[in-house]
Amino acid sequence: MKTHFKLIVALIVTVTIGACESDDVGPDGEASSKHSLKKLHYNALIKSYDPEIVLKWDEALGLAVDNKMGQSAQARIYAMVTLAMHDVLNNIIPKYETYALPYRLNAEGISKENISEIADAAVSQSAHDVLVALFPASSVNADNLLATCLSEIEDSPLKEKGIAIGKEAASAMLMRRKNDPAFGFVTYSHGTEPGVHQANYLPYAVANPPVWPANAAHIPLDGFAPFGIVSGNQFRPNAPYAINSPEYTADYNEVKKLGCTACPERTPEQTEIGAFWKENPSGLMNRLARALATKEKLNGWETARLQALIHMAQFDANITSFESKYFYHYWLPVTAIRAGDTDGNDNTQGDATWTPKFAPPPTPDHVSTPASALSSSWEIFKRFFGKDNISFTLTNPFDTPGVERSYTSFSTASHEAALARIYIGSHFRNSCVEGEKQGRKVGKYVFENNLEEIAYPF
């Protein structure tokens, strides 16, 4: 949700570079000129700050949490750590709105030569503190990285101020999200009518981690506050197809022939696409954001903002997609196909032994959370860089090691990623298409209403 933090006038007076004495003397033109010079000075300092430390902690975050937890839990950690890094930089020199720590100016004594002393210390401390608080298993590696980063900064008052800002930002972030509930499972039962999600489809999945309890579903995410949107039902999609409709029949037959364990009609390319996009979206998008920050030569402020926007949208897409799932309670392909002979549709032929290529998570079908989450990221990328046609290459070291897939636009990757869930048997096409549409709306809203550039003077 959009949050504006306005600077208290008394705070402005306490800093040397940020003080606007020229407002009190001389003609308006002179005051305006001095404002402009200071703004240029601050912008020059920001542009001079290399994103190396931001990228280093983004990478460390990925190494700590990728492939170690569920999609929503991972997305939340990414959002909180990257937002903390964004907040600390904008507490040194305000450039963009912050999320948890009100922005203020701490630029006294900063030059292009020493800005890294305060910024590197602040970024490192904030990322470390949030990460280890949320995922204690990362403590050893995070502690070691923090010690290394701080040891490479010359001891100075700026370094100490940076550490203090980092601790303050982490504390503000953890306090802001302190009411988030725990992730987990609930017993699920909404009947056995055709079209209704059923939780007893999982016996074949117990050998594939995570091992879910019987008759379970992921808890709905309505207890979590969104990071950048207003509410979980803000972008609720169109309803799923009626079971006896021709559109449903087409989707049913498509996933039946392309999504099973060893479907003979699925091409090698489709098999690779399905496996490639199986990784949790947060990790994939973190790596892409790092690569594009380097390719597009972003400074540290821009890099931190890009990552924060990406992961705000990622978690909010999880919230919106879960709201849709638990509003419609629509069944998954595995349930539908095994019950195809008794669903009331004469054009669906059932298969009681049909098994998807990969076990879908224990949630209803409509819509696909990965499709929504990935689409939200593509929309952020397009709006952040102001164009769709940027070439990039992605890898998935967990599910398709050694495989590289290259794209010439974000839209191309978005459509492929959404439809990938058909090839692993997790979702119907309509769930993927509606999820992609939903994600675009989430990304657009997050970008247009959060972490916006602020006007100078602060």
Which residue, among 451, 456, 457, has the nearest Cα to 89 in the 3D structure? 451
Residue 103 CB contacts under 8 Å (≥ 6 apart), including other chains: 5, 7, 87, 90, 91, 94, 97, 454, 458
pTM metric for this prediction: 0.92
Strand partners, 396: 400
- Identify the band that residue 7 occupies on the pLDDT scale cut at 50, 70 and 90: very low
> What does pLDDT average to over the chain?
91
Query: Quick one: tokens of 72?
Result: 């929503």
Query: Given a cut of 60, is residue 5 above it in pLDDT?
Result: no
Pairing of strands 400-407, 392-396: antiparallel
Look-up: residue for tokens 């492939």? 67
Query: Quick one: tokens of 225?
Result: 């506050």
pLDDT at 13: 28
Look-up: residue for tokens 């636009």? 409
- Identify the band that residue 434 occupies on the pLDDT scale cut at 50, 70 and 90: very high
H runs (alpha helix) in 66-215:
71-89, 115-134, 139-151, 157-176
Phi and psi at residue 342, to the nearest 5°: -125, 20
Between 303 and 184, whose confidence is greater? 303
Between 2 and 10, whose confidence is greater? 2
Residue 249 CB contacts under 8 Å (≥ 6 apart), including other chains: 345, 347, 348
pLDDT at 169: 98
Query: Quick one: tokens of 395?
Result: 């890898």
Between 186 and 44, whose confidence is greater? 44
Q: Are 191 and 162 in contact (CB under 8 A)?
A: no
Measured from the Cβ of residue 386, the count of other Cβ atoms closer than 10 Å reads: 7
Q: Are 89 and 104 in contact (CB under 8 A)?
A: no
User: What is the average pLDDT across 231-250?
Assistant: 98
pLDDT at 187: 86
Query: Given a cut of 50, is residue 1 above it in pLDDT?
Result: no
User: What is the average pLDDT across 17-21?
Assistant: 36
pLDDT at 29: 59
User: What is the average pLDDT across 52-62?
Assistant: 98
Q: What whole-number distance in Å separates Cα of residue 18 and Cα of residue 28?
A: 18
188-197, 387-396, 397-406: range with lowest mean pLDDT: 188-197
145-149, 175-179, 183-187, 323-327: range with lowest mean pLDDT: 183-187
Q: What whole-number distance in Å separates Cα of residue 125 and Cα of residue 167?
A: 6
pLDDT at 202: 59
Burial 97-127 (b: 16+ CB within 10 A, else e): bbbbbbbbbbbeebeeebbbbbbbbbbbbbb
DSSP 8-state class, residue 356: B
Q: What whole-number distance in Å separates Cα of residue 313 and Cα of residue 329?
A: 24
Q: What whole-number distance in Å separates Cα of residue 246 and Cα of residue 257?
A: 17
Q: Are 421 and 215 in contact (CB under 8 A)?
A: no
Which residue, among 322, 194, 351, 167, has the nearest Cα to 259 in the 3D structure? 351
* CA distances from residue 151 to 254, 353, 373 in whole angstroms, order as listed: 57, 59, 37
Which residue, among 98, 126, 122, 80, has the nearest Cα to 6 in the 3D structure? 98
Measured from the Cβ of residue 280, the count of other Cβ atoms closer than 10 Å reads: 24
Burial of 414 (0-12, 13-18, 19+ CB in 10 A): buried
Q: Percentage of the chain surpassing pLDDT 90?
A: 84
Per DSSP, the residues of 382-401 read HHHHT-S---EEEEETTTEE
What digits encode the pLDDT tens for the residues 334-377?
Answer: 999 999 999 999 999 999 999 999 988 889 999 999 999 999 99
pLDDT at 458: 79
Q: Are 67 and 279 in contact (CB under 8 A)?
A: yes
Query: Given a cut of 50, is residue 315 above it in pLDDT?
Result: yes
pLDDT at 30: 62
Angle at CA of residue 419, ends 417 and 424, nearest 5°: 95
Query: Given a cut of 70, is residue 415 above it in pLDDT?
Result: yes
**Which amino acid would we find at residue 65?**
V
Query: Given a cut of 60, is residue 198 above it in pLDDT?
Result: yes
Query: Given a cut of 60, is residue 407 above it in pLDDT?
Result: yes
| CA within 13 Å, CB half, 406 | 2
Angle at CA of residue 316, ends 430 and 289, nearest 5°: 95
Look-up: residue for tokens 């963009």? 96
Between 339 and 17, whose confidence is greater? 339
The domains located in the chain, with CATH, are 36-176 (1.20.144), 185-449 (1.10.606.20)
Q: What whole-number distance in Å separates Cα of residue 102 and Cα of residue 98?
A: 6
Residue 292 CB contacts under 8 Å (≥ 6 apart), including other chains: 298, 306, 381, 385, 390, 392
